Amino acid sequence: MDNAQQNDAQKEEKGQKQVAIYSTPTCHFCQMTKEFFAEHGIQYTNYDVSKDLERRQEMFNITSQMGVPVIVVGDDVVIGFDQEKLSELLGVAA
């Protein structure tokens, strides 16, 4: 089991869904999403799609568009910073 798999297993044991964000460094809404995660103690994986072409293609395959942020919470996909939806999916206060 590699480190990413161990981290995912630990998150699931703690009851937190796996969370990933596809973002770019200059995206204001990406930063807002990361701040929201930090405020609520949400662990997440960040994919910088401005540098990682493989993850950029993965994001496009998921959403059929190139806008960021794209947030994946478990099996759910949120396009853009939707605080209410993220709160609902993560079980935290908005």
Domain extents for the chain? Answer: 20-87
pLDDT digits 0-9 by tens, 17-62 = 899 999 999 999 999 999 999 999 999 999 999 999 999 999 999 9
Our CA angle for 22, 27, 31, nearest 5°, is: 80
| Amino acid identity for residue 76 in this structure | D
Residue pair 69/27 in contact by the 8 Å Cβ criterion: yes
20-87 falls under which CATH superfamily? Glutaredoxin (3.40.30.10)
Indicate the helix (H) or strand (E) that contains 35: helix 28-39
Place of tokens 């993220």: 86
Tell me the average pLDDT across 64-78.
97
